[in-house]
Chain A
């Protein structure tokens, strides 16, 4: 074989993987100790041991003899849960030990001058070590959160997550949440249509279209700038005062829908416009060259393509809208947040508001996944194999 000396003059010898592996081992061990300490604190909290009692027991040097019986009196399912929590951090040692194994193999390969094997083993070792360190950080944050919940005699847990209160009031808050769902479902339909109308109005071609373009621009400028809470307030309290027939005596929910449609219609119009403008002008040219007029071109060629592109930003705006339904409490509509606030002040506890928070987060997750799926399916359809 022709030995090209310049190529093989300086083969890269992998750095030893041992230090990183040892760091991973150290971090995993410390994490495990911390986690176990948190589990013990949790066991004490579950057994109803207060910080004061703990301090007293320590003073009398009777910590273990007083605490162990109290913890051992916990029911079996508590032990099961705590037991699982004890085992969780141990999972960190699986990649850590793997990292050690690879590091050892790399060392051995180096002594046998098997460079390639050494490189592969080193890479595997550092991968496994970083994996362990990454999950160790995750575990520290997780157990840190648990500790935060139970610290100061479960102050945080009781303020935000008082389970018995949450279970008792979940039905009431959940029911009120249907009002939010109704508002955003109806508003979303209106917004989809209204936003498109405004977007198209902003793009009407020709000199004769100028007043329409101007009107649409003024509208988007005004309602995008107005805070939605002010729009809701003005419309929800203002329109009934005007005494207009029909418009003056709608149920408050419909004022909220109207106000949110006006606000988010302006946002969504801009999203539509960005989407429409992102379609290459050659598409417009091709459609017009076939004799389709402006609106036919928009309807069949431009908007269908634009919508595929704007679905992710559209979802953004819709999630914003869904969250803004919580603002309707300013006009006295009993939505989930308003209901939860009433319950919170009656019970001097914020746990019912936590329910609302959880509900809002929960509804957005399936929407995000649905959008991901829709986009994947469409891509697979139009760009599938030849």
Chain B
């Protein structure tokens, strides 16, 4: 039994199909990278998994339990599935510490002291221990994204979804965020990430999925996908990436 399994998932925005019968499985402790051209459905796929977008057809299972469709407690599901967004989405009226403590206190019912202890530990880990009293607008993009990761980790999720988390960062800030993801991967965190950082995907992932027209067009080990893609579309996509100097 896979940790996460998506079976024949479809997603329509109005009449426009974004996912068209997509199948994907993620094993525990795997890092799966989603690559593909803009608009191929990477972000949508991630948002369907934790119920931020309801799916139009098919089903999504986590440890064999169906987490899509009617009757699913999405608030319960989201405790276990963390997501980090491209644009950080920190709460600007709260300090870094308050950002991290909010959900553990309100959702998990931790006491203030427990939540703050957990947050302090995570802030050390993302190397922002000194910034706990800062407000998001006082931090750099890289620092904000590391806080966002800490905020998601504070719920102690089983699965992390990372939605192009370095796309909004200045080039010199990308490394600090990727280092953190690399650490998480090394610790065995199950992760599903949409990314344009091909070098990073090649290095960190256990499996790479090339999304095209709403389905997983080709999947395989990073060596196979980046080294010897079999499908024509995959080859074309990687060729354009290489020409752009991004791999």
Contacts and interface: CB of A to CB of B under 8 A. Distances in A.
Interface of A: 282-283, 285-293, 296, 300-301, 304-305, 308, 381-386
B155 interface: yes
A350 B38 CA distance: 72
B93 A290 contact: no
Contacts of B75: 291-293
B50 interface: yes
A283 B136 CA distance: 13
B89 A290 contact: no
Contact of A288 (B52, B90, B139): B52
Contacts of A308: 93
B93 A286 contact: no
B85 A286 contact: yes
A289 B87 CA distance: 14
Interface of B: 50, 52, 74-76, 78-79, 82-83, 85, 87, 89-93, 102-103, 106-107, 135, 137-140, 151-152, 155
B107 A285 contact: no
A290 B90 CA distance: 12
- Counting chain B CB atoms within 10 Å of each CB, the highest count among A286, A292, A305, A384 belongs to A286
Contact of A289 (B83, B91, B137, B139): B83
Contacts of B138: 382-386
Contacts of A305: 91-93
B76 A285 contact: no
B83 A300 contact: no
B102 A382 contact: no
A378 to B, nearest CB: 8
A163 B92 CA distance: 53
Given A285-B52, A290-B152, A383 B83 contact: no
A382 B135 CA distance: 5
A-B pairs, 9 with minimum CB distance: A286-B89, A290-B103, A291-B107, A291-B78, A382-B135, A291-B79, A282-B89, A289-B83, A383-B137
A289 B52 contact: yes
A305 B91 CA distance: 9
A292 B91 contact: no
B159 to A, nearest CB: 12
Contact of B107 (A282, A286, A290, A385): A290
Contacts of A282: 85, 87, 89
Contact of A292 (B93, B102, B140): B102
Contacts of B102: 287, 290, 292, 300-301
A292 B155 CA distance: 11
Contacts of A288: 52, 74, 78
B107 A292 contact: yes
B151 A382 contact: no
Contacts of B139: 386
A277 to B, nearest CB: 17
B92 A289 contact: no
Contacts of A285: 52, 85, 89
Contacts of A382: 92-93, 135, 137-138
Given A300-B102, A381-B135, A290 B155 contact: yes
A292 B135 contact: no
- Listed residue (A292, A308, A385) with the most chain B CB atoms within 10 angstroms of its CB: A292
A304 B94 CA distance: 10
Contacts of B79: 291
Give chain A's interface secondary structure class: helix
A350 B87 CA distance: 62
Contacts of B89: 282-283, 285-286
Residue of A283, A288, A289, A293 with most chain B CB atoms under a 10 A cut-off: A289
A301 B92 CA distance: 9
A308 to B, nearest CB: 7
A245 B184 CA distance: 66
Contacts of A301: 91, 102
Q: Which of B82, B92, B155 has the most CB of A within 10 A?
A: B92
Q: A291, A292, A296: which has the most chain B beta carbons within 10 Å?
A: A291
Nearest to B148: A286
Given A282-B85, A285-B52, A305-B91, 14 more contacts: A282-B89, A283-B89, A287-B91, A289-B82, A289-B83, A290-B107, A290-B151, A290-B152, A290-B155, A292-B107, A296-B107, A382-B93, A382-B138, A383-B137
Nearest to B79: A291
Most chain B Cβ neighbours within 10 Å, of A286, A290, A301, A304 = A290
A379 to B, nearest CB: 10
A376 to B, nearest CB: 15
A383 B135 contact: yes
B51 to A, nearest CB: 9
Contacts of B107: 290-292, 296
A289 B81 CA distance: 8
Contacts of A291: 75-76, 78-79, 103, 107, 155
A301 B106 CA distance: 12
A386 B130 CA distance: 12
B78 to A, nearest CB: 4
Given A282-B85, A296-B106, A301-B91, A289 B135 contact: no
Contacts of B82: 289-290
6 contacts: A283-B89, A291-B75, A291-B155, A293-B75, A382-B92, A383-B135
Nearest to B89: A286
Contact of A283 (B52, B91, B103, B137): B91
Contacts of A286: 85, 89-91
